[in-house]
Structure 1
Amino acid sequence: MAKVRKGDTVQVITGKYKQKRGTVKRVLPESNKVIVEGVNIVKRHIKARSQIRQTGIVEVEAPLQVSNVMLVCPRCNEAVRIGFREENNEKVRFCKNSACGATIPDATGWVRHTAD
């Protein structure tokens, strides 16, 4: 089970976009990277191929290493480390902040119901 999932709010902890927050648009588990909305913007030169697609110089989000982002706890609104525990025979993520300890739901609002 991945610590960061699509739809989670994360905060960048290193680099040019340090302290910036955004929503995870896509997770690339094979390369250990995530694409975060509004972060790590690069310019791409797109060749004209069809009339539907935009051509020219386009700004897109590039992937970031998963180790360079931290999950933002929805309850305490801080960038925190997360852990896993079992609740009612279900594996769930939780905030490791000593004052919080809240269960972190999936982006859909549901707690994952599998014990991986």
Structure 2
Amino acid sequence: MHIDITHHVDASEPDDGYGYHYAYTLYRFSDGRDRLLARSYDDDADQAHFLNIEVDGHVRLMIDADLRHPLLLAAAAYLGETGKRRLRWLSGRGDGYEPLPAQPTIGPAEAP
């Protein structure tokens, strides 16, 4: 598995009265054929969210069957080893994110 890790900051101009500041790390996992994208916000360092999957060159939201994909299982194990104890995936249902199987449920106050 190949992993590309990049850090990003998205912030408003310093003089903006309604400022925002998001700092996060993107993880791009690849097995040479398929790819996964995950994000972890700096202020929730023990969480990561799988955002999409690319299969056969087509990027899409993940589906339930992807939860058994060997690349997802390897990526989840890697993130767990780096201290990401709460893993979620963008399903598009409910608030949009769901815990990976065998992960603790994150309450509404902690959801992204």
Same fold (TM over 0.5): no
Q: Larger Rg: 1 or 2?
A: 1
* TM bracket, shorter-chain basis: under 0.3
Bigger relative CO (Cα 8 Å, ≥ 6 apart): 1
Structure 1-normalised TM-score?
Answer: 0.26
State the TM-score, normalized to the length of structure 2.
Answer: 0.26
Q: Where is the helix percentage greater, Structure 1 or Structure 2?
A: 2
